[in-house]
Amino acid sequence: MIGYYAHQQGSGHCNYAQIFSDEFQRDLHIFSSYPFKFSEGSNIVFLENEDPDGTSKKGNQSSPPDYLHYSPVGQKSIQQRSLKLLSHLVEASCDLLIVDVSAEIAALSRAASIPYAYVKLPGNRNDPGHLQAFQGAAFLLAYYPQEFEHPEVPDWVKKKTIYLDFISRIKVTAENKINQEHFIQKIVIMSGNGGNAELERAIEKVALRFPKAQIQLLGKFAVNSRIPNVHSLGFVNNVQDYLQKADLIIANCGLNTISEIIHLNKPYLAIPEARPFSEQDEMCKILARLGYAINLKDLSILSDKEILNTRNFARVGHTNQKLKDFKSLLNKNFHNLVQLPSLFREVQENKAVHEFSV
């Protein structure tokens, strides 16, 4: 049995849990507190929310050790969720727990003698809490290519990481339109539940740059735009339909968002939002440097035709094939988890040699 712990902040962790569940099927159990709409048939164990519940005593609080990020003392909900998680893992004879993400769950798993893999997010995560979680893991997983890695990541961390490239639940259909014209007609500005102050500030500038384009706002926006060509649609069930018909997608630099846009091979205007560990700022810099996205300052420089030609995603793996390779290796090596990164690199190197020879 494989466990997948999905953090309760935002839907992104649960989205990746669902991707893994779709791949591993009934062999994988998901643990989370987030109210995500998982697919029917997924194995879900809902945990108590870890937000403050009023049960911890102020006089008992002491500074958490460096290897933890959030650790109130005496909070009943955390005690209950820890007990539920450990009880289920032990009863199900868990072979591996994938931690996405939590330094506390990583420490709990290691202390309980349960092997875990830690999901490494983008950005500079060289703080003691992350480094200790990385050190205690059997291996690390990254849902992006190694070329997107932060330059200050230690070599031992990269050596311990299995880079799965960008993975997504998106299935590209015939409705995915690639604009063959020289001007942009449809723009989607997409936001999730997280903070989107920078996206909101960009709306007017985008509308001025594309006065004849139809601009659709998808997701949570606080602004009430009165610009004639800007239409706020809120959250929609069929997001992919809108994205597939767009000539340009404008969004933040969250990992799920990047993965979806890459799978659709669409021109992408990346706008980073404030996130812990400079995650989105760093991703935005790398996207621009490698030519995978443009930024706001490019709008006044590039023509519509030049923007439409910024679809460089064919260079990036985006078929979820590396996830399938990982599954195949894992199923054969539950007794040899710490060697998985080197085994995975060997498989990818052999594939590259074969493709080059063909």
Pair (295, 222) in one structural domain: yes
Pair (158, 12) in one structural domain: yes
In whole angstroms, what separates CA 147 from the centre of its chain?
A: 16
Domain that holds residue 93: 2-167+320-357
Confidence of residue 309 (pLDDT cuts 50, 70, 90): confident
Determine the average pLDDT of the residues in 40-45: 96
Mean pLDDT score across all residues of the chain:
92
- Per the structure, the count of domains in the chain is 2
Confidence of residue 231 (pLDDT cuts 50, 70, 90): very high
C-alpha closest to that of 166 among 136, 182, 187, 146: 146
Pair (129, 195) in one structural domain: no
pLDDT attached to residue 353? 81
* Within a domain: 123: yes
pLDDT attached to residue 358? 57
Confidence of residue 283 (pLDDT cuts 50, 70, 90): very high
Backbone φ and ψ for 327, nearest 5 degrees, come out as -60, -45
Determine the average pLDDT of the residues in 320-337: 96
pLDDT over 90 for what percent of the chain? Answer: 78
The CATH number of the domain holding residue 23 is 3.40.50
* Within a domain: 28: yes
Pair (28, 144) in one structural domain: yes
* Within a domain: 178: no
Name the burial class of residue 100, with classes exposed (0-12), middle (13-18) and buried (19+) by CB atoms within 10 angstroms of its CB.
buried
The residue among 106 and 265 whose pLDDT is bigger is 106
Buried b (16+ CB within 10 A) or exposed e, 230-262: bebeeeeeebbebbbbbbbbbbbbbbbbbbbbb
Pair (353, 218) in one structural domain: no
pLDDT attached to residue 170? 83
Pair (326, 231) in one structural domain: no
Are the CB atoms for 55 and 74 separated by under 8 Å? yes
Distance CA 343, CA 358 (A): 23
Pair (120, 241) in one structural domain: no
Count the neighbouring beta carbons within 10 Å of the beta carbon of residue 351: 13
Pair (266, 142) in one structural domain: no
* Within a domain: 180: no
- What is the signed CA dihedral for 235, 119, 25, 254, rounded to 10 degrees? 20
The CATH number of the domain holding residue 258 is 3.40.50.2000
Are the CB atoms for 187 and 218 separated by under 8 Å? no
Determine the average pLDDT of the residues in 284-290: 91
Pair (190, 98) in one structural domain: no
Are the CB atoms for 305 and 236 separated by under 8 Å? no
Pair (36, 115) in one structural domain: yes
Pair (223, 304) in one structural domain: yes
pLDDT attached to residue 142? 98
pLDDT attached to residue 78? 97
* Within a domain: 245: yes
Confidence of residue 317 (pLDDT cuts 50, 70, 90): very low
pLDDT over 70 for what percent of the chain? Answer: 94
pLDDT reading at 31 higher than 90: yes
Two tokens, residue 313: 């995603």
Pair (134, 258) in one structural domain: no
pLDDT tens digits for 69-98?
999 999 999 999 999 999 999 999 999 999
* Within a domain: 14: yes
Two tokens, residue 3: 């466990």
C-alpha closest to that of 85 among 63, 56, 107, 69: 107
pLDDT tens digits for 147-183?
999 999 999 999 999 999 999 988 776 567 677 678 9
Single pTM value for the model:
0.93
* Within a domain: 176: no
Half-sphere exposure of 51 (CA within 13 A, CB side): 5
* Within a domain: 49: yes
Two tokens, residue 334: 């539950």
Are the CB atoms for 102 and 5 separated by under 8 Å? yes
Backbone φ and ψ for 353, nearest 5 degrees, come out as -65, -40
Distance CA 126, CA 328 (A): 31
